[in-house]
Amino acid sequence: MADALLAEAERAGARVTVLAVGTWLEQYPPMAQRIVRGGHDLGNHTMHHLDIAAMDASGAYSEIEGCAQRLRALTGSIGRWFRPSQTRYATPLPSCPPCSARRGPGRSSACTLGTPAP
């Protein structure tokens, strides 16, 4: 069904953004490549789709980083979008809140996925 939806969007000249959960990426790795190959965006929707707002900064970072690692392994990129699981809005990765919390007060809010903690 996902492949048919992507193909129909492509026939219409539309591009979609798929915010994928890491466990889904593990289960369907060819779909990650198919999404990107079709010119669509593939973003991070955490590793296990848990309530990220209920986690401490370390747990939230782990959920985001786990999915980012899957995205990078499958597509060569961590994607351009992050949507916290069980929340209403997506966030461009340059302003990733869990990364800001990880860096500490007064530091850049830029996404630091894949970099060592300061």
DSSP string of 25-77?
Answer: HHH-HHHHHHHHHTT-EEEE--SS---GGGS-HHHHHHHHHHHHHHHHHHHSS
Alpha carbon 66 to chain centroid distance?
9
CA distance 30 to 46: 19
Please tell me the CATH superfamily of domain 2-103, with its number: Glycoside hydrolase/deacetylase (3.20.20.370)
* pTM metric for this prediction: 0.74
pLDDT of 37 above 90: yes
pLDDT of 118 above 50: no
Mean pLDDT of 57-73: 94
Domain residue spans in the chain?
2-103
pLDDT at site 106: 46
Q: Are 44 and 77 in contact (CB under 8 A)?
A: no
Give the three-state DSSP class for 95: helix
Mean pLDDT of 43-72: 93
